[in-house]
Structure 1
Amino acid sequence: MRYVKVAWDTEYPGFTVDPHPYLDELPCLAPELPPGAWTFATDPDHYRFSSPRCVKDLGLAEVRVAADKSGSLVVRFTPNPWKHEDELEIRYTGVVHFSFDYAHALDWMDKDTFLLDELLPDPAGCRHEIALTDATLTVRCRDLEAVWIAPAPSDQDGPQTPMA
């Protein structure tokens, strides 16, 4: 990433993250972003770590790539139970590049966790780079829509019908 800082700290094992260089640059970048990317990047809760609408700590759940040539891609993240209430689904349109690159391996984690991201202007529209605990997801596209969705209740949570 160009502005957001994500690094593994060997002294205190864990990730250090810093969105401040990106947030300082965002007022200059935002006008060049397409509308959906602009809305997502400039949401005041996006980088507020204590907010239930902050992207940090969401769990990667699914990546759906269109089988046709529509250029659509959907990435879904599940809530962290100690922080989030809703899932985040990012719907990309006009995708011209998608990569999922593994940089290192943290075998003790059961899923990749969202560390931080940044959205930058791109000739295609925007470039969205997401740092995960085990990988980097990069999408270049015309635009995106980020939607917070309440998770569907599980079968165990609903009313029980007695069996006859």
Structure 2
Amino acid sequence: MKFVKAEWDDEMRGFDLDPSSYLAELPKMRDALPTGAWAHASDAEHYRMRSSRCVKDLELAEISVPTDKRGIGVIDFAANQWKHESGLRIRYSGVSHFSIDYDQSIDWMRADTVLLDEILPREGGCLHEIALTDASITVHCRDFEAVWGGTE
């Protein structure tokens, strides 16, 4: 990710997470981000770590990759039982790139959970990168819609 910090810290024996650089840059991206991407990125609760609408700690539940030229993809995240009231569904449109890169270095967790994400403008849409505890997801798309409770 370009601005969001989400990396393992050996000394701390945990993840060092800091979205502050991204949040400082985000207002400059208002006119460049598609409507749905902007709505998700600028949600006041998105990066408030203790909020039930913060993406941190959501559990990766299911991925539906685009299989035709419509480029529709969906990622479902389940609620963390100690933090979230509901899960989150992200429905991408116009997907031109979708990748998952696995690190496989943390073997003591049952599920991959979200550390943080970053949404940046790109020609024809946006780039959404999601850092997970043991992987990262990268999506290039025209736009997306993020709906809390959309997985129930």
Q: TM-score range by the shorter chain?
A: over 0.9
Q: Whose radius of gyration is greater, 1 or 2?
A: 1
Q: Distance in 2 between matches of 1:12 and 1:44?
A: 28
The two structures have a TM-score, normalised by structure 2, of 0.96
- 1:88-147 CA-to-partner distances (Å, cap 9, x unmatched) read 000000000001011342110111000000100011300000000011100000000000
The two structures have a TM-score, normalised by structure 1, of 0.89
2:131 matches 1:141: no
Identity, % of aligned positions = 57
- 1:11-47 CA-to-partner distances (Å, cap 9, x unmatched) read 1211110000000000101221000000000000000
SS in 1 for 2:22: helix
| Ranges in structure 2 where 5+ consecutive residues have no aligned partner | none
Q: Distance in 1 between matches of 2:108 and 2:128?
A: 27
Q: Distance in 1 between matches of 2:117 and 2:73?
A: 17
Deviation at 1:2, TM superposition (A): 0.2
- 1:37-93 CA-to-partner distances (Å, cap 9, x unmatched) read 000000000001111000000000000013322101000000011100101000000
Number of the residue aligned with 2:121 = 121
Letter in 2 for 1:80: N
Number of the residue aligned with 2:38 = 38
Number of the residue aligned with 2:23 = 23
Letter in 1 for 2:149: I
SS in 2 for 1:75: strand
Letter in 2 for 1:70: R
Aligned length: 152
2:120 matches 1:112: no
Q: Distance in 1 between matches of 2:60 and 2:104?
A: 16
Aligned positions of 1:70-85 closer than 5 A: 70-85=70-85
Distance 1:125 1:86, change over 3 A: same
2:13 matches 1:13: yes
SS in 1 for 2:39: helix
Letter in 2 for 1:54: C
Residue 58 of structure 2 contacts residue 79 of structure 2 at CA under 8 Å; is this kept in 1?
A: yes
Letter in 2 for 1:88: L
Residue 77 of structure 2 contacts residue 151 of structure 2 at CA under 8 Å; is this kept in 1?
A: no
Residue 85 of structure 1 contacts residue 150 of structure 1 at CA under 8 Å; is this kept in 2?
A: no
Root mean square deviation of aligned Cα:
1.2
